[in-house]
Amino acid sequence: MGLQSTRHQSTRKRSDRHAQKPLPSETFRRARPTEQLMSHSSPYPAASEEPPTPILRLRTCLIRSLCEGDAESTAAQANNPRIAKWMRNAFPHPYRVEDAFKWISIATSTSPIHNYAICRPDDNTAIGGIGLKPQDDTRYRTIQIGYWLGEEYWGRGIATEALSAFSEWTFEHFKHVIRLEAEVYEGNDSSTRVLEKAGYAFEARHRKAVEKKGQIMDLSLYCRFRDGY
């Protein structure tokens, strides 16, 4: 189940304003039959590059940077009201392939990369996302973290393994960061359990802090600290 992730911090309007650059591909391959079909039947570009090398190879999933070839599978998994209900309104619903392409362009334009795809380990197909939102000024030692996962993959331990490993990776690669924090809407018990299993502790409840589709809800804050703090 997704958190109010940093992955989709842009609305469709904002997405159009961002300059985009794709990640460099390491090798190229012949298009698979499905991609050849897309080139004739889809208004969107067919994937022609290998997915980026994973930053994490886990038992239940891979975590890697996004690429244009992820647009179809990302939209297919994200276009789900049971996911969108726990996300910020910047996460589109309905979630179209066009939205996926816009998000991929934004996510791959930052340096360093902060937002990644959660992928199946057998064929590298994107089934979710996980990402970071660095804070600034006096809060520069804090990074917000969030994720979402396609519904058909819930209950398999994928989110817990991905969040735990990605949190450790974040501390390793962002040496200045002491604190990771995640926000959870009231009622999102699945994400609460995932966070606790991944080493996050409940810190605070912000009463009546958010409104989603006319419903006023509490917002819970969970955090995890670098070892030694």
Higher pLDDT, residue 217 or 21: 217
- Taking the CA of residue 102 as centre, how many other CA atoms within 13 Å lie in the half-sphere pointing to its CB? 19
Which pTM was predicted?
0.80
Per-residue confidence (pLDDT) for residue 26, from 0 to 100: 36
CATH superfamily, domain at 12-225: Gcn5-related N-acetyltransferase (GNAT) (3.40.630.30)
DSSP string, 139-170: GTTEEEEEEEE-GGGTTSSHHHHHHHHHHHHH
d(CA 13, CA 83): 21
Backbone phi, then psi, for 154, in 5-degree steps?
A: -70, 155
Map out the domains of the chain as residue ranges. 12-225
Higher pLDDT, residue 43 or 94: 94
**Model confidence at 215: pLDDT above 50:** yes
pLDDT in tens, 150-200: 999 999 999 999 999 999 999 999 999 999 999 999 999 999 999 999 999
Per-residue confidence (pLDDT) for residue 170, from 0 to 100: 98
Interaxial angle between packed helices 97-107 and 71-78, expressed in degrees from 0 to 180 and rounded to the nearest 10: 120
Backbone phi, then psi, for 124, in 5-degree steps?
A: 65, 25
Per-residue confidence (pLDDT) for residue 50, from 0 to 100: 85
pLDDT in tens, 7-35: 444 444 444 444 343 333 333 333 333 33
Strand order across the 126-134 sheet: 56-57, 62-65, 115-119, 126-134, 142-149, 179-185, 215-225, 201-212
Neighbour-count burial for 11-43, b at 16+ CB within 10 Å, e otherwise: eeeebeeeeeeebebeeeeeeeeebeebeeeee
Per-residue confidence (pLDDT) for residue 13, from 0 to 100: 42
**Model confidence at 213: pLDDT above 80:** yes
